[in-house]
Structure 1
């Protein structure tokens, strides 16, 4: 999963995965360790299930994700993305 996330961020490909049993499609912008020490991605959700019913910026704990797939679709960096994500204690890669 780690290699796929690196590739998706480097090439700005959409990712699709199941999260807590539901499909999500996201634009991954940052991958690292959260302040609680969990591997996670900061991504903008563009499709799929959302418990809040809203799309937008979310932090995904990767221990709750599976069936990750890189899509052919490309995305542009979001203007409101802020590098140096404060929700991460260590960043492995970011846009």
Structure 2
């Protein structure tokens, strides 16, 4: 799947507040996407809260930022969520925001 297609799927999940199941760094993860956009280096990124699954760092839950270029399989789940208390609307870590809660 191309990055633009992944971005469209993620933007729809953000709009519907649906969790995503995605493969990243050879680990399957369940993730609540909060912000989608481009970082200062021009990479398409998604920031959100991982609720379960693998992690290279060993932390299976917590705030994560993923590069869309490294996201493998991607599926929208019919599991809904709301914004976490720590969520930063208009996250300054993004040079451009394409979708956010």
Would you say same fold, with TM above 0.5? Answer: yes
The alpha carbon displacement at 1:46 in A equals: 0.5
1:83 correspondence with 2:80: no
Q: TM-score, normalised by structure 1?
A: 0.95
The structure with the greater share of residues assigned to strand is: 1
Structure 2: distance between partners of 1:23 and 1:7: 20
TM-score in terms of structure 2 length: 0.89
TM-aligned CA deviation for residue 87 of structure 1: 1.5
CA–CA separation in structure 2 for the residues paired with 1:67 and 1:52: 20
Matched residue, 2:16? 11
Matched pairs, number? 95
Q: Cα offset for 1:86? A: 1.8
**Structure 2: which 5+ runs fail to align?**
1-5
Aligned residue for 1:44, secondary structure, equals strand
Where has structure 1 moved over 2 Å in runs of 4 or more?
Answer: none
